[in-house]
Each structure stands twice: as structure tokens, then as C-alpha cells.
């Protein structure tokens, strides 16, 4: 198949393309506004009017893009998860690939370096944590929201698990527990450290989350890995 | 000191004792009602009127016992944490003490049995999880509530950590990580399994939490313990 087949004849596709791009920008601005409003006022406190207004649009523009506040919330979660996974993927491949086969388990200090680097690229810990806590509670209380929330969380964990599994296999080790179970363990530790940093009123939550996570994660990963030949 | 000194002369202390007992019963009934109302309607949804009414008291009776809804919530958390710790303590000592010195690390299957037994005594997983999630979110958002919430959570974790540490030492092993860090890990895994069971709409959340926790906890404890002489 020639690549030319995928290119629209000159000029023809411009108007729909512009429309699509404009629509995408509107959605992005609504999502940005929603992030600000949700994390500041909570799900119940943030009205659709306030979100539309913050983004510089009308209520009508909101509803032509999202059916409800919950739908917007799911779109926002998906966008943020996507962005985080992309960043993690880049850093994993940049950091882990050059290690090659070490012929043994990487030392905790080594694992520590990788986790520290990967974690230093998690933006907006405070806002993200508040938004997630809020959304999780809504899902825990609302059986209509719960399945979709759980599916989004599990999809994130599965992608991250595959990424982590690929990374450790490239280094010549494997986990002694299911990669998904381990991923859950890491994600839970991270979430819990985020919450604790916020509760403690830490001025630099990002740094204190890193410090907390470093107390357990490297040893945890080290203890739960073994060489591919069962060392 | 004679034990007799602690006993009030006959008849004299009856009235104040009755008053104290009556007051304690009122508090207990308000706490029971609050548990029902909070877990059903959430913190914001449960009014002081509804709680007092559910307990069969007036608003006045509420305020003569608790200064605010948050204070009631803290009292409830403390009561529930206390009850859970007591139950755990009984089961730990009943289960772990007879093991004695095994002269090596207990096998994961053995640890599994202990955890299964300890966990089978966690009542009301759903209600407790909802109440805790709600309270945690309130604390995350309110800097006035946060320090006290964090202190209560940490005090629970410290007591549990001491209990776990004592139990494993009695068996002749020690943790390769700080007992408090390990406890946090276990508590987080438990919380996360509770939330997932509720989100998944499991008909028997207690059972599915046990199943989930069993996938990781025994191996985790096994991997992170070593014999006292560093085996």
C-alpha cells in the first residue's frame, strides 16, 4: 500500500480538518478548566457553568462536547492517565534499556535510581491526588459510575504493569509475583504517600512523596524479583 | 497499695456512676447512629438532626456530647480503630504465640493461614471503607481536619506495627524493612482491596477482599522477613 493513499487531495480536507482541530482545542480548554475547578472545589462544588466560564465558553459549548460532568471527568482521567503513561514509557525505555543484561538482580541502589528518575516526572501531585480521591469516592457511592471508574483504573494499571514487566525482563530479571499485583502495590504506595504528604501539609509534596516512596519501593522491588533462571 | 482504696464506700458513688454510665450509653448510641448515617449519606449528607433523631435523641443531647460533626467523626474513628486493634491483638496472640521459635522463616502458606484468620474478623468492610474514604477526603480538603486525621491514622498504624513486630519476633524472624513501613504497606493493600471490591459491586466484599489480599500479602511478608540471625 502506498503512503500516498492516506493523504487527502490538496485543499479538499482543509475545512473539516480545521473544524476537527478547533473542536479538539475546545475540548482541551474545557478539560484544563475542569481540572482547575474540580481540584479546587470538588466534584459537587464545581458547576458546569463555572467550568465553561473558566474555559471561556458557554454552557452550550460544554454540552456539545460532554454529556455530563461525569463524562468530562472520565475524559479528564483518561487524558491525564495517558499523559502519565507516555512520560513513564519514555523514561523507562531511556533508563532501563541501556542496562542490558546484568546477569543478576539489580541492586536496590540501582532500582532506587530508576524509581527516583521515573518519579521526578510526576507533575501536580496535589491537584491530581485531590481529583482522584474525589472521583474515587463518587464512584464508591454511585453504582452507575463505579464500573467505568474501575475499568479506567485497571486499564491504567495493566498498561503500567506491561511496561514494568518489559523493563525488568530487558534487565534479565522477573518478578516473583504477578506483574499486575506488583504494579498495584507500587501504585497504592504512591497514592498513599501522596495523601499523607497532603494531610501533613508538606510545603513540597512532590519531594516528600519521593522520600516516602523511596523508603520501601526499592527494597520491595528487589525482594520480589529473581533472575530469569530462578536465582 | 491496697486494692480496697480504689473501691468507693458503699452507696456513695452510685449517683455519679449511674450518670457516667448513662452518658456513655448516650454517646455510644449517637456513635452507632452516626456510623449508619455517615456511611449511607456521606459526611455532608448526614445532618446532626438526622443523627440525633436516628439515635432517639434531640439536637441538644448531641451537642452536650460532641462539639461538631467532625468531633463525632473522630470519636467514631477512634472507637472503631480501638475495636479493630483489640480484635487483631487477640487473634495475633492466639495464632502466633503457639508457633514458638520455628528456627527459620515461616513458609508463605503458614503466613497465609495467619493472615486469613486475622482478616476473617474484620467486620463491615463496606460501611467502614465508605466512611473512611469520606473522612479522608474531608481531611485532604480541610487543613483544620487534616492534622488530627493524620495523627489518628498514624497512631493506628503504630499500634498495629508494634503488634506485628512483636508477633514475628516471637516466631524468630524480623522484617527487612521498618515494621511501620511494612504495616503501611499491608494497610494500603487492604484499603485498596476494599475499594476495588466495592467498585466491582461484589456481592460478598469481605470474601473478595480476602482473596485479593491473599494474592500478595503472604509472599510479601515472606520476602520481606529474615531470620533474627540474618538468614
Is residue B107 scored above 70 in pLDDT? no
Q: Which residues of B45-77 are buried (b: 16+ CB within 10 A; e: fewer)?
A: ebebebbbebbebeeebbeebbeebbebbbbbb
pLDDT at A34: 92
pLDDT for the residue numbered B48: 93
pLDDT higher than 90, residue A57? yes
Nearest to B201 among A143, A192, A219 (CB): A143
Give the end of a domain, one of B67, B89, B111: B67
Whether the per-residue pLDDT at B186 is higher than 80: the answer is: yes
Same domain for B92 and B29 = no
Q: What is the pLDDT of residue B5?
A: 47
Confidence of residue B3 (pLDDT cuts 50, 70, 90): very low
Whether chain A has a CB inside 8 Å of the CB on B196: the answer is yes
Select from A140, A198, A216 the Cβ nearest to the Cβ of B195.
A140
Question: Is residue A107 included in any domain, yes or no?
Answer: yes
Q: Which of A100-104, B12-16, B108-112, B135-139 has the least mean pLDDT?
A: A100-104
pLDDT for A32: 93
B6 falls within a domain:
no
Mean pLDDT, chain B, whole residue set: 82
B53-81: average pLDDT: 92
SS (H, E, C) chain B: CCHHHHCCCCCCCHHHHHHHHHHHHHHHHHHHHHHHHHHHHHHHHCCHHHHHHHHCCCHHHHHCCCCCHHHHHHHHHHHHHHHHHHHHHHHHHHHHHHHCCCCCCCCHHHHHHHHHHHHCCCCCHHHHHHHHHHHHHHHHHCCCCHHHHHHHHHHHHHHHHHHHHHHHHHCCEEECCCHHHHHHHHHHHHHHHHHHHHHCCCCCHHHHHHHHHHHHHHHHHHHCEEECCCC
Based on the fold, state whether residues A132 and A221 are members of the same structural domain. yes
Chain B residues near residue A215 by CB distance under 8 angstroms: 177-178, 181
Are residue A37 and residue A79 in the same domain, yes or no? no
pLDDT tier for residue A208 given thresholds of 50, 70 and 90: confident
Q: What is the total count of domains within chain A?
A: 2
Kindly state whether residues B132 and B24 are assigned to the same domain.
no
List A residues 7-26 in contact with B (Cβ-Cβ < 8 A).
none
Confidence of residue B123 (pLDDT cuts 50, 70, 90): low
* Residue B4 counted as domain residue: no
Does B30 score more than 90 pLDDT? Answer: yes
Nearest CA in chain B to A43: B137
Under the banding of pLDDT at 50, 70 and 90, the label for residue A210 is confident
pLDDT at residue A212, rounded to an integer:
84
**Cβ-defined contact of A199 to B129 (cutoff 8 Å):** no
For residue A184, the chain B residues in CB contact (below 8 A) are: 192, 216
Burial environment of residue A36 by CB neighbours within 10 A (0 to 12, 13 to 18, 19 or more): middle
Distances (CA, A) of A214 to A57, A189, A211, B187, B229: 43, 10, 5, 18, 26
Residue B39 lies in a domain: yes
> Is the pLDDT assigned to residue B222 strictly greater than 50?
yes
| B180 and B227 together in one domain | yes
pLDDT at residue B60 greater than cutoff 50: yes
Residue A6 counted as domain residue: no
For residues B3-22, one letter each, b for 16 or more C-beta atoms within 10 angstroms of the residue's C-beta and e for the rest, the string is eeeeeeeeeeeeeeeeeeee
Asked, for residue B95, whether it belongs to a domain, the answer is: yes
Picking from A147, A184, A212 by the largest number of B CB atoms within 10 A of its own CB, the best residue to mutate is: A184
Last residue of a domain, one of A67, A85, A114: A67
Residue range A99-155, pLDDT digits in tens: 655 556 666 666 777 777 766 666 677 788 888 888 899 899 889 999 999 999 999
Provide the residue range defining the domain that includes B27.
13-67
**Which pLDDT value is given to residue A104?**
61
Judge if B56 and B96 occupy the same domain. no
Inside any domain, residue A3: no
Quote the ipTM score: 0.82
User: Closest chain B residue to A190 measured between Cα atoms?
Assistant: B188
> What's A144's domain CATH number?
1.10.357
Amino acid at each position: 500500500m502506498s503512503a500516498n493513499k492516506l493523504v487527502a487531495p490538496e485543499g479538499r480536507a482543509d475545512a473539516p480538518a480545521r473544524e476537527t482541530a478547533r473542536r479538539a482545542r475546545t475540548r482541551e480548554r474545557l478539560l484544563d478548566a475542569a481540572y482547575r475547578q474540580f481540584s479546587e472545589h470538588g466534584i459537587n462544588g464545581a458547576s458546569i457553568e463555572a467550568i465553561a466560564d473558566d474555559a471561556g465558553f458557554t454552557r452550550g459549548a460544554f454540552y456539545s462536547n460532554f454529556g455530563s460532568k461525569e463524562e468530562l471527568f472520565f475524559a479528564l482521567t483518561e487524558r491525564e492517565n495517558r499523559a502519565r503513561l507516555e512520560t513513564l514509557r519514555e523514561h523507562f525505555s531511556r533508563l532501563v534499556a541501556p542496562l542490558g543484561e546484568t546477569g543478576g538482580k539489580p541492586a536496590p541502589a540501582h532500582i532506587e535510581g530508576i524509581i527516583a528518575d521515573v518519579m521526578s516526572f510526576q507533575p501536580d501531585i496535589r491537584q491530581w491526588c485531590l481529583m482522584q480521591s474525589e472521583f474515587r469516592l463518587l464512584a464508591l457511592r454511585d453504582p452507575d459510575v463505579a464500573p467505568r471508574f474501575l475499568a479506567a483504573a485497571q486499564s491504567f494499571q495493566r498498561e503500567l504493569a506491561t511496561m514494568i514487566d518489559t523493563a525488568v525482563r530487558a534487565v534479565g530479571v522477573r518478578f516473583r509475583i504477578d506483574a499486575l499485583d506488583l504494579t498495584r502495590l507500587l501504585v497504592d504506595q504512591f497514592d498513599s504517600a501522596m495523601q499523607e504528604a497532603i494531610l501533613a501539609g508538606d510545603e513540597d509534596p512532590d519531594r516528600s512523596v519521593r522520600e516516602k516512596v523511596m523508603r520501601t519501593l526499592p527494597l520491595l522491588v528487589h525482594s520480589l524479583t529473581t533472575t530469569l533462571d530462578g536465582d
